[in-house]
Chain A
């Protein structure tokens, strides 16, 4: 996982923060094991207060990443260093906070804060996973091109297709007009996360039928041995030529729509990968804000009723 360039924040400075976080966990566990308060492990013993303070401090600092990463002018460490510390100290927080609870849980704001914290961390772990994996998939899909250019190209291809279809009669125009109307790029939450249905084959199938029909008609008339009248022959020939042209242009249209559809698939894949890469933030951030509120309620309540 950490071999990909996008996972390099995990390896930052030779796993400096992994070591620091591990040390923190080990120290906390050892003290917890040694500590034997007379009323059992709980958040109100001196160790409980200490772990609580460390945990609350960590939560505050971890949440500060949201502010720090937007401050491009800040010189307090690199964003990569912050992210590395954010990940490992966030994981260490599981140990610190769990020991702070003394394994006392209930239906109250205190356990609610703890559960919210776990949910934030779990969504963060999901985030690490996608941040390590998704960029590679995105690059594989898009290559050197970017989404804006591809969308422009798709719209341009639609316009070209309509222009090409216009002289080919109302039926071909109708097929293309519908195809451009029905085209789906992105969409709602579900469509983005799981991809809209790939473009249907209907337009191409219909065009192919027209091509086949027209070609058959053109060939049949051209080489009809029963034809005898020269004028009739000439008229038939002209019509046959026209039909051949229709078939040829329809073929071009099919190619055009096919190219467009391939682009739609790529753009939609890109939208999907980005959505999947970012959806965790829609849990991580609001849950963090909720956690800060619950943490405030927790701290205020335990000291208000000291």
Chain B
């Protein structure tokens, strides 16, 4: 084997190469001075390795059991290729060429001096975290760029880089949802359920960057919104001036909708209404369970002179109130659990026999004589003809009906009444008329019977059972029946949904079975509501926001900051309900309806 050894030496700036050729069976490498390639480094064995040549080319064989480092790994033996690096201590042998003439060209170089080698080995030790692949700067940059890309640049690009086409927020939102990325990382909280259908179109509400949402954004859709008090006087009040939709309607706060649930929206003013709205004479309300005024139902009074009812709010415990109805109706008698007499015998009555829910289930249909009373309270007047009944509700017609009835009887004759004149008692043959001389007696009998019957109907039974009847001097209307006031839903300032309370028996709230007179106001008091309903946030009672029963100043045509249109200030009303008692700040309270 012929080997060319090219030794490199650094002299100043120059790298000088010297060459020597060797011919032999093997090339020996080691620290021993007898070696062909001399590597005086204590880490090398005296005979460290040798290179032999066979048909396949040069082959390196380690002579030390520790192996030889070739290309950074210890080996027992290896076929040498051009470019292989053999490291022996601080000496470096490079295979420059194989397979030609000579068969092997070997570069030889002392990499470092002994002292420099020691320094280099020291320097190559990884003894600090900064020597490892962990990079403080790399991690910081990586995380920062990730945050900026996902948290800032992507949403910005989606907002300003694309402009989804569409007329309405819904259209633009649909166009936006076609883009595979979204900017929901910017959502500060769930959008209310009612606005979700255009959730992708942020610009629908956030019209301009870095500017708070303005009323114009809300009114773009809610252009007909007009439910914030009809009362220009209250809208002009300093407490309301400059109010924005977003002052009360907050978005991104959950799915419940943008109507505030917190009672503070109401109690900020209503806890101490005299402070700002003294003229309205409102009762303070700061908490349903602790500080809420008693119900103030509208209660009727009857003026006998004018024959008219007048209504006024009465804020007292309902049990102490008496209302004029002009009707005689003892609830306790009708609800007697043992039953009440009827033409068909004893009947046990239920509330629902007379009080039937209206179509929405919120309240009840008015009680009606024909439907609810007449099966027992029959309006018959002649025991001989029990099927014949008087019309209800028209006392002025009764005189005529009764007279006509008895005149007809007198004409027909055959009346089985011993006290009646003979002409009335006589049976008449078909075609026979009343004899002339008996006519006066027959009419007198009929008049007498009619008068007696009417006294009976008006003053002793039938009408008298339930109504206030008075004899009058007017011969055409000898009796007058006082007008009737059927108690109805008497709370103006609140809603009450009977359907929502269907599971409760009526008697839980209404003491009807103990009521002896129709003047009783059977509205429950506030405490019976408090049995179940508590303040918002309550965990032992039904958490009840103000708006569960009260609407916010619902009225016809004004929203905050809107133009003063609609009813004239004179007709203005303040308060829930539509056209009920009017109270405006600065105006004297009026307790009666117009």
Measuring CB to CB, which residues of chain A are less than 8 angstroms from any residue of chain B? 36-40, 42-44, 104, 106-110, 112-113, 116, 147, 151-152, 155, 159, 162-163, 166, 170, 173-174, 177-178, 180-181, 185-189, 192, 267, 271, 274-275, 278-279, 281-282, 285-290, 292-294, 296-298, 300-306
Contacts and interface: CB of A to CB of B under 8 A. Distances in A.
Nearest to A287: B143
A40 B131 contact: no
A303 B209 CA distance: 8
Interface stretch (B147-155, B305-313, B461-469): B147-155
B66 A186 contact: no
B136 A281 contact: yes
A155 B66 contact: no
A251 to B, nearest CB: 20
12 contacts: A37-B264, A42-B250, A107-B184, A174-B66, A177-B66, A178-B66, A186-B128, A282-B129, A286-B139, A297-B151, A301-B152, A304-B206
B128 A274 contact: yes
B65 interface: yes
Given A177-B44, A177-B64, A297-B151, 9 more contacts: A38-B260, A151-B122, A166-B42, A173-B45, A186-B126, A282-B139, A293-B147, A293-B152, A301-B188
B202 interface: yes
B132 interface: yes
Nearest to B63: A170
B129 A290 contact: no
B146 interface: yes
Interface in B244-261: 248, 250, 253-254, 260-261
B136 A293 contact: no
Interface of B: 42-47, 64-66, 118, 121-122, 125-129, 131-134, 136, 139-148, 150-152, 155, 159, 184-190, 202, 206, 209-213, 248, 250, 253-254, 260-262, 264-265
A271 B438 CA distance: 143
Contacts of A278: 129
Nearest to B148: A293
B188 A170 contact: no
A300 B265 CA distance: 30
A290 B140 contact: yes
A297 to B, nearest CB: 3
Contact of A39 (B43, B126, B140, B260): B260
A151 B260 CA distance: 71
A177 B126 contact: no
B42 A188 contact: no
Q: Is the interface of A mostly helix, strand, loop or mixed?
A: helix
A226 to B, nearest CB: 35
A43 B105 CA distance: 77
Would you list the 6 A-B pairs with minimal beta carbon distance, nearest first? A297-B151, A290-B143, A39-B250, A286-B139, A293-B147, A162-B42
A162 B43 contact: yes
Contacts of B148: 293, 296-297
A155 B122 contact: yes
Contacts of B147: 109, 112, 116, 290, 293-294, 297
B186 A170 contact: no
A168 B248 CA distance: 95
Given A192-B129, A293-B148, A305-B186, A37 B42 contact: no
A177 B43 contact: yes
A287 B43 CA distance: 46
Contacts of B265: 38
B190 A106 contact: yes
A43 B188 CA distance: 9
Given A278-B129, A289-B143, A289-B144, A177 B45 contact: yes
A108 B206 contact: no
Contact of B144 (A177, A178, A189, A293): A293
A152 B122 contact: yes
A40 B536 CA distance: 12
Nearest to B130: A278
A274 B132 CA distance: 13
**Chain B CB within 10 A, most for which of A178, A274, A288:** A178
A139 B260 CA distance: 63
B290 to A, nearest CB: 15
Contact of A155 (B121, B126, B142): B121
B262 A37 contact: yes
A304 B146 CA distance: 20
A100 to B, nearest CB: 12
B202 A305 contact: yes
A166 B33 CA distance: 14
Contacts of B254: 40
A116 B151 CA distance: 13
A276 to B, nearest CB: 10
Contacts of A36: 262, 264
A5 to B, nearest CB: 24
